[in-house]
Amino acid sequence: DYFRAESRWVFDASLSSAHECSLVSGMRLKWAKSTFLKGQIEGFAKSESKSVMLKWVKQAIDAYNSAHPSEKPVHRQDQGPVAAAASEDGRKKDQDAVATMTTTNKLNPDTSLLLLRQLNVVGVVVLVLLLLQLMVTLYNLRTTTNESVRLQKQHQVLLSQLMDKMKCVKSSA
């Protein structure tokens, strides 16, 4: 409902060598509605698109190497930075922005799902601890209120007794 994603890729054979080719992939997000999670969605879409393309390239290389075992094995080379995901929200954004992504710290869908689950567990634990603290605070407030009411009743009884004694002293005098 909020956005539409388009994924594009171009596969080019190298003119200089018969044994080289390149794959250029890109992603465009077209925003239909505005959301405060826009940056997170763009970052996640970019990293997910990159991990999917790397997986496809690895599978293609493995399939080629298994189909042609007599030839020299094909390998993959990373080249240069990964361009930031292009985004449109009614106005054209600068498409020359380049962000370098390291493959060691990337979030793929499996690790991000595991991280979200762990954060959910931590959030539930914090919520339970806050509720326990609230219950302890309410219990202390209730006991303090009950003690205050008991002392007020005792004070009222003592005042009544004092008034009765003062009436007795007045009537005897």
pLDDT exceeding 70 applies to what percent of the chain? 77
| Residue 55 parent element (H or E) | helix 38-67
User: Which of these ranges, 27-36, 66-75, 143-152, has the smallest mean pLDDT?
Assistant: 66-75
What pTM, to 2 d.p., does this model score? 0.39
Q: Where are the beta strands (DSSP E) in the chain?
A: 3-13, 21-31, 82-83, 86-88, 98-99
Determine the pLDDT at residue 90: 38
Q: Give CA–CA dist 50/70, Å, rounded.
A: 31
User: Which of these ranges, 37-46, 78-87, 129-138, has the smallest mean pLDDT?
Assistant: 78-87
Q: What is the DSSP string of 128-145?
A: HHHHHHHHHHHHHHHHHH
Scanning the structure block, which residue is given the tokens 């190497």?
65
Q: How confident is the model at residue 154 (pLDDT cuts 50, 70, 90)?
A: very high
For 107-150, write each residue's pLDDT tens digit.
Answer: 677 788 888 899 999 999 999 999 999 999 999 999 999 999 99
Determine the pLDDT at residue 94: 35
User: Which of these ranges, 25-34, 38-47, 92-101, has the smallest mean pLDDT?
Assistant: 92-101
Half-sphere exposure at residue 72, Cβ-oriented, CA atoms within 13 angstroms: 3
| Residue 51, amino acid | S
Q: What is the pairing mode between strands 3-13 and 86-88?
A: unpaired
Q: What is the mean pLDDT of residues 27-54?
A: 84
Determine the pLDDT at residue 76: 61
Give me the phi and psi of 66, to 5 degrees please: -75, -30
